[in-house]
Structure 1
Amino acid sequence: MSLGLTCIPMTSLPYLAGYSESLRTQALELLEAGELADRLRARYPDRHDVRSNKALQVYVQELKARHMKTSAPLGQVQFDDRLHVIHGALGLHTTSTRVQGAKLRKRRSIQVASLFKDTPPEFLRMIVVHELAHMKHGEHDRAFYRLCEHMEPEYHQLELDLRLFLTASEWA
């Protein structure tokens, strides 16, 4: 269904693939009119101050302490230049297990794509919440999304807006 929109094919909206056709059509119309990026900038005018790995570590630890007090400790947290949206990774959580004497030690880490150094604070928070939720729930199931919404009540709206932001950035 083209609706007369010929500049950008519907299949060129990979970040919106899981959304309804009507939402994708609306996004496509806004893209072609040059309004999508402006609307997102108006809705999210601020940029955060979390620019270094150390600042990111503090930011993530504060969120974890506030919402996931009883979860396992978190090791390394950093921005990662190797993560890129093309490969579908905006953030990454890893768990490694080591033997120390008679005990198994798990080390958990979070990497956040470097593109989040210069985004609205809401988008950084959404990615961090997503990766923290993976520390407790490995799959994107109902319990996972409940935890995301517990940490960020606007999680689903922010996820959609981030996908629109990535789409607008790609077509700029």
Structure 2
Amino acid sequence: MEAYTLIRSGRRTLALEITKDCRLLVRAPARCPKRTVEEFIQRSQPWIERNLARMRQRAAEAGPPPTPEEIEALRAQARAVLPGKVAHYAALMGLSPTGVKITSARKRYGSCSAKNSLCFSCFLMRSPDEAVDAVVVHELAHIRHKNHGPDFYALVQRYMPDYQARKKLLK
């Protein structure tokens, strides 16, 4: 059986989680017997093995985490590149963002606030130029459509017909 960390709380069900650093977490109700937890883990073994292998492969592909110097270099590159791209596509699309901010977010490449301020992760600079353009157009489209409905994607397609292909370059 795989080593795991048990977290007990007021929840009612058992749950498994594999963290980014490939550790197995088991969440359980406060009064759940240890035997029940171990039986649950035993029944879930195929899921655990499959997902642990996937997470280990992802971790190996990702390589070591970036150093603060590398992050700062990506930030500088983003500050140099992204405002120009935003200005270009904003003019093309007839949209006006209220600001452009660069962060070091790791879970998303971009966002658009309710006040139409665009936010981009410096890690976007690791992607090909075509993919960067796709993220810029995607976030600009959120100025007009605050959701991912058909009208939103119609707007994105109008200015970037190969959007889906470019989006695949991010992964």
Identify the residue that residue 134 of structure 1 maps to in structure 2: 142
User: Which blocks of at least 5 consecutive residues in structure 1 are unaligned?
Assistant: 1-6, 14-30, 38-49, 97-107, 166-172
Q: 1:139 is paired with a residue of what secondary structure? A: coil
Residue by residue over 1:88-145, the C-alpha shift from the partner in whole angstroms, topping out at 9 and shown as x without a partner, is x22111133xxxxxxxxxxx21111111122210111111111011111111111111
Structure 1 distance, partners of 2:152, 2:53, is: 28
Identify the residue that residue 51 of structure 1 maps to in structure 2: 77
How many percent identity over aligned positions? 23
Q: What does 1:25-40 correspond to in 2, within 5 Å?
A: none
TM-score norm. by structure 2 comes to: 0.53
Structure 2 distance, partners of 1:109, 1:160, is: 25
Q: Which 4+ stretches in 1 moved above 6 angstroms?
A: none
Structure 1 distance, partners of 2:168, 2:114, is: 28
Q: Which has the higher Rg, Structure 1 or Structure 2?
A: 2
Q: Is residue 90 of structure 2 the alignment partner of residue 64 of structure 1? A: yes
Q: Is residue 161 of structure 2 the alignment partner of residue 153 of structure 1? A: yes
Residue by residue over 1:28-77, the C-alpha shift from the partner in whole angstroms, topping out at 9 and shown as x without a partner, is xxx89xxx99xxxxxxxxxxxx92425321210111101x22x3x32211
Identify the residue that residue 109 of structure 2 maps to in structure 1: 90
Confirm or deny: 8 A CA contact 1:94 1:110 kept in the other structure.
Answer: yes
- Judging changes above 3 Å, is the alpha-carbon distance between structure 1 residues 76 and 153 closer, same or farther for their aligned structure 2 residues? same
Q: CA deviation at 1:78?
A: 2.6
Structure 2 distance, partners of 1:136, 1:91, is: 16
Corresponding letter in the other structure for 1:91? G
Equivalent pairs counted in the alignment come to 109
RMSD between superposed Cα atoms in Å: 3.1
Confirm or deny: 8 A CA contact 1:77 1:111 kept in the other structure.
Answer: yes
Identify the residue that residue 99 of structure 2 maps to in structure 1: 76
Identify the residue that residue 18 of structure 1 maps to in structure 2: none
Structure 2 distance, partners of 1:8, 1:53, is: 40
